[in-house]
Amino acid sequence: MANKKIVVVGSSNTDMIIKAPRIPKPGETVLGGAFSMAAGGKGAIQAVAAARAGGDVIFIARVGADFFGERAIKSFNSDRIDSSLISRDREEPSGIALVFVDEDGRNSIAVAAGANAKLSRKDIEKSEDAIAAADILLMQLEIPMDTVLAAAQIADANDVRVILNPAPAQKLPSKLLKFVSILTPNEFEAEELTGIKITDHRSASSAGESLLDQGAGTVLITLGARGTFIAAEGIRESVPGFSVRAVDSTGAGDVFCGALAVALSENKQLSDAVTFANAAAAISVTRLGAQPSIPRRREIEKFLSGRGAAATPQHR
């Protein structure tokens, strides 16, 4: 197995989770359900997912100089993630997410960014050597866009592949997409970026083509249990997903990205890497909590062997 570096730049939060019969409407109080607290944050989930899938991971982030920040760093260390480039902010608290999860595993999330919003271009410049020496740079959008752009520029200048999960959904600077090797929106994020509602293969292909035209090298549109649509030069391919009983979908897209980065760092073919990532995400939604739900390498491989891993991609 290859031992190539994966650098993750992104957010670290603590999730406060309430499992309820349904997600409250505005002005409504819903009784019942259990409370739990778990490590979260899109960047942290990606870093942990990559580490547990077998990756050699460095995490660049900013946490508060508080209980939640110290707890997060201890957790990263326990997963053998290099946390030496995580800064402790003495002015802003660690990020917090309030998560409602309904009986069908659907969620609603509000995030207080805290120290995540202070992760800056200067932090990235201090970490330039680590990014330049990586095989893959993995990012999301729970940190300032300027910070994302700075990291992508360093990666591009050093021939480092950039995987970007464009979430939370927002418009992207055109110059950023030119640095992105692989863009991994879900169907809602793809619609936000293209204006195309994804309902079938044809609309997924149209959205993928639009994102390629905007500058992305490859586009992977994640569709949950329906799998992943790949759009790349000369490729329009659907990789099947896995049907499981969902308990909590929080962080599934980030688990997908972390596992994908590992598979690609091991030189797996893109469709095989996507199948591996689909499996990791499928396992994660069967458990409660963002980071606690992340599977380890042996679980992913066992799941794939039991499901007849190589579901055949559909070429059209």
For the annotated catalytic residues, the residue numbers are: 254
Which residues, including other chains, have CB under 8 Å from residue 175's CB and lie 6 or more apart? 149
Question: Token pair 């990791």 is at which residue?
Answer: 280
Quick one: 210 exposed, middle or buried, by C-beta within 10 A (0-12, 13-18, 19+)?
middle
DSSP type of residue 65: S
- Cα radius of gyration (the chain): 18
CA distance 154 to 182: 16
What is the SS3 assignment for 109-156? EEEECHHHHHCCHHHHHHCHHHHHCCCEEEECCCCCHHHHHHHHHHHH
Bridge partner list, 86: 61
